[in-house]
Amino acid sequence: MPIHIAGRRRSRVSIEAAHPGAVILDVTSRAEPPWVRLSPFYPHGDIPVPFSPGVTGQSVEGIWQALKVFATADVDEAKLKITSMKGLKRTVRKYGGVLGHRAGLRGETLLSYEEARRRIYLPTYRWMLENRTADLVADLKELSHSGDVVLLDYTTNGDVADPSSPLSHAALVGLYVEDRWPADRGGT
């Protein structure tokens, strides 16, 4: 059965009404163990940073934020070390417009938003799924064979090419479990 994605802010009653009998799992940074481990904010440690041989980060979100380049700020290597799941975000309010994501900590190339999703976020999150949360992925596969599963996230956008809203990691989990992972171009 397919894995469904729902907004975490939606009422439990409305989710249950839309998906009667489904297993509902929060996979955000506010989730309970063990499902919080699927959050990109979770500090698994030793996650390879794309385009940066030998460099690792604590979390997927830390890597994503570290490589972001703004009008007034370049990469921020300190984001790679954060283990608290807090203080990871870097915002346009503080640093001005986003110019792109750097292809590696020392790279010269700036990637567009979609290209960064494909070459940084997708391979990093997939690495996490395969190397840090394979047990949870296996559990989700089993659960989805038994009935409907709804994963809760703050956003529900599962289209890498749609820049109108942030990419939902819960949608990526669903796509991965269903063997429908979006095309990426790998971070090397």
E strand or H helix at 24, and its extent?
A: strand 23-26
Q: pTM for this one?
A: 0.95
Q: 10 Å Cβ neighbour count for 156?
A: 18
Question: Along the chain (188 residues), what's the average pLDDT of each consecutive run of 10 residues?
Answer: 93 96 97 98 98 98 98 98 96 96 97 97 98 98 96 97 95 97 74
pLDDT of residue 2: 82
Q: Is there a contact between 126 and 176 (Cβ–Cβ < 8 Å)?
A: yes
pLDDT of residue 185: 66
Q: Is there a contact between 158 and 2 (Cβ–Cβ < 8 Å)?
A: no
pLDDT of residue 187: 60
Smallest CA-to-CA distance from 187 within 52, 44, 43 is with: 52
pLDDT of residue 68: 98
